Structure 1
Amino acid sequence: MANRLLSLSLRGIQRIQKAGVHGSRSRIGNREVVGYGFNGEPNYVDRPDFPLPAIRFKENTPDIQALREKEKGDWKKLTMEEKKALYRASFCQTFAEMKAPTGEWKSVVGLALFFVSFAMWGYMGLKLFVYKPLPESFTEERKQAQLQRMIDIGVNPVDGVASKWDYEKNAWKE
Protein backbone atom coordinates (compact mmCIF):
# COMPACT_ATOMS: atom_id res chain seq x y z
CA MET A 1 0.00 0.00 0.00
CA ALA A 2 2.72 2.49 1.01
CA ASN A 3 4.84 1.40 -1.95
CA ARG A 4 1.96 2.11 -4.33
CA LEU A 5 1.40 5.57 -2.81
CA LEU A 6 5.09 6.32 -3.11
CA SER A 7 5.20 5.30 -6.77
CA LEU A 8 2.08 7.38 -7.53
CA SER A 9 3.55 10.42 -5.82
CA LEU A 10 6.86 9.99 -7.69
CA ARG A 11 5.01 9.79 -11.00
CA GLY A 12 3.15 12.98 -10.11
CA ILE A 13 6.38 14.77 -9.25
CA GLN A 14 7.95 13.64 -12.55
CA ARG A 15 4.92 14.94 -14.46
CA ILE A 16 5.18 18.30 -12.69
CA GLN A 17 8.89 18.51 -13.45
CA LYS A 18 8.36 17.67 -17.11
CA ALA A 19 5.57 20.24 -17.31
CA GLY A 20 7.87 22.82 -15.71
CA VAL A 21 10.61 22.16 -18.25
CA HIS A 22 8.15 22.30 -21.11
CA GLY A 23 6.54 25.46 -19.72
CA SER A 24 9.84 27.26 -19.28
CA ARG A 25 10.92 26.33 -22.81
CA SER A 26 7.75 27.85 -24.21
CA ARG A 27 8.35 31.04 -22.20
CA ILE A 28 11.84 31.69 -23.53
CA GLY A 29 11.03 31.06 -27.19
CA ASN A 30 14.14 30.43 -29.28
CA ARG A 31 16.47 32.41 -27.05
CA GLU A 32 19.73 30.66 -26.32
CA VAL A 33 20.34 29.28 -22.82
CA VAL A 34 23.87 30.39 -21.94
CA GLY A 35 24.22 29.72 -18.22
CA TYR A 36 22.73 28.68 -14.92
CA GLY A 37 21.23 32.02 -13.91
CA PHE A 38 20.93 33.36 -10.39
CA ASN A 39 18.23 30.88 -9.34
CA GLY A 40 18.67 28.01 -11.78
CA GLU A 41 15.65 28.96 -13.85
CA PRO A 42 15.91 29.86 -17.54
CA ASN A 43 14.92 33.51 -17.20
CA TYR A 44 16.42 36.91 -17.96
CA VAL A 45 16.96 39.50 -15.22
CA ASP A 46 19.28 42.49 -15.25
CA ARG A 47 21.04 42.39 -11.87
CA PRO A 48 24.30 44.19 -11.04
CA ASP A 49 25.03 41.67 -8.28
CA PHE A 50 24.63 38.72 -10.69
CA PRO A 51 25.62 39.97 -14.15
CA LEU A 52 25.24 36.68 -16.04
CA PRO A 53 21.62 35.85 -16.87
CA ALA A 54 20.66 32.31 -17.83
CA ILE A 55 19.37 33.21 -21.30
CA ARG A 56 20.07 35.86 -23.89
CA PHE A 57 17.90 38.97 -23.97
CA LYS A 58 16.69 38.76 -27.58
CA GLU A 59 15.58 35.79 -29.63
CA ASN A 60 17.84 34.53 -32.38
CA THR A 61 17.14 36.17 -35.73
CA PRO A 62 19.04 35.65 -38.99
CA ASP A 63 20.83 39.00 -38.50
CA ILE A 64 21.98 38.11 -35.01
CA GLN A 65 23.01 34.61 -36.14
CA ALA A 66 25.16 36.16 -38.89
CA LEU A 67 26.77 38.48 -36.34
CA ARG A 68 27.44 35.54 -34.00
CA GLU A 69 29.22 33.70 -36.81
CA LYS A 70 31.26 36.81 -37.61
CA GLU A 71 31.98 37.17 -33.86
CA LYS A 72 33.80 33.83 -33.85
CA GLY A 73 36.49 35.34 -36.07
CA ASP A 74 38.69 38.37 -35.51
CA TRP A 75 36.99 41.04 -33.38
CA LYS A 76 39.00 43.77 -35.08
CA LYS A 77 36.95 43.17 -38.22
CA LEU A 78 33.69 43.96 -36.36
CA THR A 79 32.45 47.54 -36.46
CA MET A 80 31.38 49.34 -33.31
CA GLU A 81 27.71 49.10 -34.37
CA GLU A 82 28.02 45.33 -34.80
CA LYS A 83 29.63 44.99 -31.35
CA LYS A 84 26.81 47.06 -29.84
CA ALA A 85 24.20 44.96 -31.66
CA LEU A 86 25.80 41.77 -30.29
CA TYR A 87 25.82 43.23 -26.78
CA ARG A 88 22.18 44.33 -27.02
CA ALA A 89 21.19 40.89 -28.30
CA SER A 90 22.64 39.34 -25.14
CA PHE A 91 21.85 42.06 -22.56
CA CYS A 92 19.10 44.61 -22.15
CA GLN A 93 21.03 47.16 -20.11
CA THR A 94 24.61 48.13 -19.46
CA PHE A 95 25.93 48.43 -15.90
CA ALA A 96 25.71 52.21 -16.14
CA GLU A 97 22.03 51.94 -17.15
CA MET A 98 21.30 49.45 -14.35
CA LYS A 99 22.94 51.63 -11.70
CA ALA A 100 21.57 54.93 -12.98
CA PRO A 101 19.21 56.68 -10.55
CA THR A 102 15.57 56.12 -11.38
CA GLY A 103 14.01 58.82 -9.22
CA GLU A 104 11.88 56.23 -7.45
CA TRP A 105 12.86 57.75 -4.09
CA LYS A 106 10.71 60.78 -4.90
CA SER A 107 7.52 58.75 -5.09
CA VAL A 108 8.46 56.81 -1.94
CA VAL A 109 9.11 59.99 0.04
CA GLY A 110 5.95 61.59 -1.34
CA LEU A 111 3.85 58.59 -0.40
CA ALA A 112 5.38 58.46 3.09
CA LEU A 113 4.68 62.17 3.62
CA PHE A 114 1.12 61.66 2.41
CA PHE A 115 0.53 58.92 4.99
CA VAL A 116 2.16 61.00 7.74
CA SER A 117 -0.06 63.97 6.93
CA PHE A 118 -3.11 61.68 6.77
CA ALA A 119 -2.23 60.31 10.22
CA MET A 120 -1.79 63.82 11.61
CA TRP A 121 -5.17 64.92 10.23
CA GLY A 122 -6.70 61.77 11.70
CA TYR A 123 -5.16 62.51 15.10
CA MET A 124 -6.38 66.12 15.00
CA GLY A 125 -9.87 64.94 14.07
CA LEU A 126 -9.93 62.42 16.91
CA LYS A 127 -8.62 65.03 19.36
CA LEU A 128 -11.25 67.53 18.27
CA PHE A 129 -14.33 65.32 17.89
CA VAL A 130 -13.75 62.12 19.88
CA TYR A 131 -11.55 62.62 22.92
CA LYS A 132 -12.91 64.27 26.07
CA PRO A 133 -11.19 67.42 27.32
CA LEU A 134 -8.33 66.93 29.76
CA PRO A 135 -9.26 67.02 33.46
CA GLU A 136 -8.55 70.11 35.60
CA SER A 137 -5.61 68.38 37.27
CA PHE A 138 -3.61 68.85 34.05
CA THR A 139 -3.56 72.64 34.28
CA GLU A 140 -0.26 74.25 35.27
CA GLU A 141 -1.69 75.67 38.53
CA ARG A 142 -2.94 72.26 39.65
CA LYS A 143 0.40 70.60 38.79
CA GLN A 144 2.25 73.17 40.91
CA ALA A 145 -0.20 72.67 43.78
CA GLN A 146 0.25 68.89 43.58
CA LEU A 147 4.05 69.24 43.59
CA GLN A 148 3.88 71.59 46.61
CA ARG A 149 1.65 69.12 48.46
CA MET A 150 4.12 66.28 47.75
CA ILE A 151 6.93 68.41 49.16
CA ASP A 152 4.88 69.39 52.21
CA ILE A 153 4.04 65.82 53.19
CA GLY A 154 7.58 64.60 52.38
CA VAL A 155 6.84 62.05 49.67
CA ASN A 156 9.86 59.74 49.18
CA PRO A 157 12.37 61.77 51.20
CA VAL A 158 15.35 59.53 50.32
CA ASP A 159 15.62 59.94 46.55
CA GLY A 160 12.30 61.40 45.34
CA VAL A 161 10.86 64.89 45.05
CA ALA A 162 11.13 65.68 48.76
CA SER A 163 14.86 64.85 48.79
CA LYS A 164 15.53 67.67 46.31
CA TRP A 165 13.72 70.33 48.39
CA ASP A 166 15.50 72.45 51.01
CA TYR A 167 12.97 72.86 53.83
CA GLU A 168 15.01 75.54 55.62
CA LYS A 169 15.35 77.89 52.63
CA ASN A 170 11.97 76.84 51.20
CA ALA A 171 13.55 76.37 47.73
CA TRP A 172 15.00 73.65 45.51
CA LYS A 173 18.43 72.35 46.49
CA GLU A 174 21.28 73.33 44.21
Structure 2
Amino acid sequence: MANLLLRRALLDAVRVPVCARASSSVGELAKIGNREWVGYGFNGQPNYVDRPDFPMPAIRFRGETPDVKVLREKEKGDWRKLTLEEKKALYRASFCQTFAEFPAPTGEWKGVVGWSPVFASLAVWIYMGMKLFVYSPLPESLNEENQKAQLRRMLDLKMNPVDGLASKWDYENNRWK
Protein backbone atom coordinates (compact mmCIF):
# COMPACT_ATOMS: atom_id res chain seq x y z
CA MET A 1 0.00 0.00 0.00
CA ALA A 2 2.82 2.37 0.90
CA ASN A 3 4.54 1.53 -2.39
CA LEU A 4 1.38 2.42 -4.32
CA LEU A 5 1.02 5.74 -2.48
CA LEU A 6 4.68 6.61 -3.05
CA ARG A 7 4.41 5.75 -6.74
CA ARG A 8 1.26 7.88 -7.08
CA ALA A 9 2.94 10.83 -5.32
CA LEU A 10 5.98 10.59 -7.60
CA LEU A 11 3.85 10.43 -10.73
CA ASP A 12 1.81 13.43 -9.61
CA ALA A 13 4.99 15.37 -8.89
CA VAL A 14 6.43 14.72 -12.35
CA ARG A 15 3.27 14.82 -14.47
CA VAL A 16 2.54 18.05 -16.30
CA PRO A 17 -1.09 19.00 -17.03
CA VAL A 18 -2.13 19.25 -20.68
CA CYS A 19 -3.00 22.93 -20.26
CA ALA A 20 0.54 23.62 -19.05
CA ARG A 21 1.95 21.85 -22.12
CA ALA A 22 -0.19 23.91 -24.42
CA SER A 23 0.94 27.15 -22.82
CA SER A 24 4.59 26.12 -22.53
CA SER A 25 5.56 27.83 -25.76
CA VAL A 26 4.14 31.09 -24.39
CA GLY A 27 5.30 30.90 -20.79
CA GLU A 28 7.75 28.96 -18.71
CA LEU A 29 6.90 25.84 -16.74
CA ALA A 30 7.54 25.91 -13.03
CA LYS A 31 8.86 22.34 -13.07
CA ILE A 32 11.65 23.01 -15.56
CA GLY A 33 12.63 26.49 -14.48
CA ASN A 34 13.67 28.80 -17.28
CA ARG A 35 14.62 26.02 -19.68
CA GLU A 36 12.87 26.00 -23.03
CA TRP A 37 10.60 23.10 -24.03
CA VAL A 38 11.79 22.34 -27.57
CA GLY A 39 10.14 19.03 -28.46
CA TYR A 40 8.07 16.06 -27.47
CA GLY A 41 10.88 14.06 -25.92
CA PHE A 42 10.85 10.31 -25.64
CA ASN A 43 7.75 10.17 -23.41
CA GLY A 44 6.04 13.55 -23.78
CA GLN A 45 7.15 14.80 -20.37
CA PRO A 46 9.38 17.86 -19.85
CA ASN A 47 12.55 16.04 -18.88
CA TYR A 48 16.12 15.90 -20.07
CA VAL A 49 17.83 12.56 -20.70
CA ASP A 50 20.89 11.87 -22.84
CA ARG A 51 19.94 8.80 -24.87
CA PRO A 52 21.69 7.62 -28.02
CA ASP A 53 18.52 5.86 -29.21
CA PHE A 54 16.47 9.06 -28.86
CA PRO A 55 18.82 12.00 -29.38
CA MET A 56 16.32 14.85 -29.05
CA PRO A 57 15.33 15.61 -25.41
CA ALA A 58 12.16 17.52 -24.66
CA ILE A 59 13.86 20.48 -22.94
CA ARG A 60 17.20 22.16 -23.22
CA PHE A 61 19.96 21.16 -20.82
CA ARG A 62 20.58 24.66 -19.43
CA GLY A 63 18.29 27.56 -18.82
CA GLU A 64 18.28 30.83 -20.68
CA THR A 65 21.06 33.17 -19.58
CA PRO A 66 21.88 36.53 -21.14
CA ASP A 67 24.94 35.03 -22.87
CA VAL A 68 22.92 32.20 -24.37
CA LYS A 69 20.18 34.62 -25.50
CA VAL A 70 22.77 36.65 -27.39
CA LEU A 71 24.12 33.50 -29.01
CA ARG A 72 20.61 32.32 -29.95
CA GLU A 73 19.96 35.62 -31.72
CA LYS A 74 23.33 35.35 -33.45
CA GLU A 75 22.63 31.76 -34.60
CA LYS A 76 19.52 32.92 -36.47
CA GLY A 77 21.86 34.56 -38.95
CA ASP A 78 24.74 33.08 -40.90
CA TRP A 79 26.43 30.19 -39.06
CA ARG A 80 29.74 30.89 -40.79
CA LYS A 81 30.00 34.06 -38.73
CA LEU A 82 29.90 32.07 -35.47
CA THR A 83 33.21 31.06 -33.97
CA LEU A 84 33.92 27.49 -32.92
CA GLU A 85 33.67 28.46 -29.24
CA GLU A 86 30.25 30.02 -29.81
CA LYS A 87 29.02 26.89 -31.60
CA LYS A 88 30.27 24.76 -28.71
CA ALA A 89 28.59 27.05 -26.18
CA LEU A 90 25.29 26.79 -28.09
CA TYR A 91 25.59 23.01 -28.18
CA ARG A 92 26.37 22.77 -24.45
CA ALA A 93 23.40 25.01 -23.66
CA SER A 94 21.10 22.50 -25.37
CA PHE A 95 22.85 19.19 -24.65
CA CYS A 96 24.92 17.81 -21.78
CA GLN A 97 26.95 15.23 -23.69
CA THR A 98 28.05 14.61 -27.26
CA PHE A 99 27.45 11.28 -28.98
CA ALA A 100 31.11 10.45 -28.40
CA GLU A 101 30.68 11.01 -24.66
CA PHE A 102 27.61 8.72 -24.31
CA PRO A 103 29.51 5.40 -24.35
CA ALA A 104 32.50 6.77 -22.48
CA PRO A 105 33.35 4.71 -19.38
CA THR A 106 32.30 6.24 -16.11
CA GLY A 107 34.51 4.22 -13.78
CA GLU A 108 31.47 2.78 -12.01
CA TRP A 109 32.89 -0.72 -12.48
CA LYS A 110 35.65 0.06 -9.99
CA GLY A 111 33.18 0.46 -7.17
CA VAL A 112 31.39 -2.75 -8.16
CA VAL A 113 34.66 -4.69 -8.26
CA GLY A 114 35.72 -3.14 -4.95
CA TRP A 115 32.52 -3.82 -3.04
CA SER A 116 31.98 -7.34 -4.40
CA PRO A 117 34.75 -8.95 -2.29
CA VAL A 118 33.54 -7.03 0.76
CA PHE A 119 30.03 -8.46 0.43
CA ALA A 120 31.37 -11.92 -0.43
CA SER A 121 33.59 -11.97 2.66
CA LEU A 122 30.70 -10.70 4.77
CA ALA A 123 28.56 -13.58 3.47
CA VAL A 124 31.31 -16.08 4.32
CA TRP A 125 31.61 -14.69 7.87
CA ILE A 126 27.84 -14.89 8.33
CA TYR A 127 27.87 -18.50 7.10
CA MET A 128 30.70 -19.41 9.46
CA GLY A 129 28.91 -17.78 12.38
CA MET A 130 25.68 -19.59 11.56
CA LYS A 131 27.49 -22.91 11.26
CA LEU A 132 29.28 -22.36 14.56
CA PHE A 133 26.46 -20.96 16.70
CA VAL A 134 23.14 -21.85 15.05
CA TYR A 135 23.31 -25.21 13.30
CA SER A 136 23.30 -28.40 15.36
CA PRO A 137 26.04 -30.99 14.76
CA LEU A 138 25.52 -33.53 12.00
CA PRO A 139 23.79 -36.78 13.00
CA GLU A 140 25.82 -39.95 13.58
CA SER A 141 24.32 -41.58 10.52
CA LEU A 142 26.35 -39.25 8.29
CA ASN A 143 29.72 -40.47 9.56
CA GLU A 144 31.71 -42.43 7.00
CA GLU A 145 31.78 -45.59 9.16
CA ASN A 146 28.02 -45.55 9.66
CA GLN A 147 27.41 -44.97 5.95
CA LYS A 148 29.59 -47.96 5.08
CA ALA A 149 27.69 -50.09 7.61
CA GLN A 150 24.37 -48.91 6.17
CA LEU A 151 25.53 -49.74 2.64
CA ARG A 152 26.65 -53.22 3.79
CA ARG A 153 23.25 -53.78 5.44
CA MET A 154 21.44 -52.76 2.23
CA LEU A 155 23.55 -55.25 0.28
CA ASP A 156 22.97 -58.03 2.83
CA LEU A 157 19.20 -57.48 2.66
CA LYS A 158 19.42 -57.45 -1.16
CA MET A 159 17.42 -54.23 -1.43
CA ASN A 160 16.28 -53.54 -5.01
CA PRO A 161 17.99 -56.55 -6.62
CA VAL A 162 16.67 -55.95 -10.16
CA ASP A 163 17.89 -52.50 -11.05
CA GLY A 164 18.98 -50.93 -7.78
CA LEU A 165 22.14 -51.00 -5.70
CA ALA A 166 22.07 -54.75 -5.06
CA SER A 167 22.05 -55.46 -8.81
CA LYS A 168 25.52 -53.95 -9.08
CA TRP A 169 27.02 -56.16 -6.34
CA ASP A 170 28.63 -59.51 -7.05
CA TYR A 171 27.54 -61.72 -4.13
CA GLU A 172 29.77 -64.68 -5.11
CA ASN A 173 33.04 -62.67 -5.20
CA ASN A 174 31.90 -60.13 -2.58
CA ARG A 175 32.80 -57.06 -4.68
CA TRP A 176 31.25 -54.53 -7.11
CA LYS A 177 30.51 -55.75 -10.66
* Matches for 1:15-26 after TM superposition, within 5 Å: 17=17, 25-26=29-30
CA distance in structure 2 between the partners assigned to 1:113 and 1:50 by the alignment: 37
1:75 aligns with 79
1:128 and 1:109 mapped to 2: Cα distance? 29
Question: What runs of 5+ residues in structure 1 fail to find an aligned partner?
Answer: 1-15
Q: Percent identity?
A: 69
Query: TM-score, normalization: structure 2?
Result: 0.77
CA drift of 1:29 comes to 2.2
The one-letter amino acid of 1:51's match is P
The residue that corresponds to 1:92 in the other structure is: 96
Distance in 1 of aligned mates of 2:43 and 2:56: 11
CA distance in 1, matches of 2:114, 2:163: 49
Render the CA deviation track for 1:99-133: whole Å, top value 9, x for unaligned: 21112223234434333322221121121122221
Structure 2 residue ranges without an equivalent (≥5): 1-15
Are positions 1:139 and 2:140 aligned together?
no
Cα RMSD of the aligned pairs, angstroms, is 2.3
Mapping of 1:106-117 within 5 angstroms? 106-117=110-121
* Structure 1 Cα separation of the partners of residues 131 and 175 of structure 2: 38
Which of 151, 154, 170 pairs up with 1:166? 170
Count of aligned pairs:
157
TM-score, length basis structure 1: 0.78
More helix by proportion, 1 or 2?
1
Residue 54 of structure 1 is aligned with which of 55, 58, 74? 58
Displacement over 4 Å in runs of 4+: 18-22
2:133 pairs with one of 129, 134, 139: 129
Deviation at residue 18 of structure 1 after TM alignment: 6.7
Deviation at 1:70, TM superposition (A): 2.4
Q: Match for residue 39 of structure 1? A: 43
* Alpha-carbon spacing, 1:31–1:130, altered in 2? closer, same or farther (3 Å): closer
How far does residue 20 in structure 1 lie from its aligned partner after superposition?
6.6
In structure 1, C-alpha distance between the alignment counterparts of 2:17 and 2:92, rounded to whole Å = 32
Question: Residues 20, 76 of structure 1: CA spacing in aligned structure 2 closer, same or farther, 3 A cutoff?
Answer: closer
**Match of 1:156?**
160
Cα gap change, 1:19 to 1:117, in 2 (>3 Å): farther
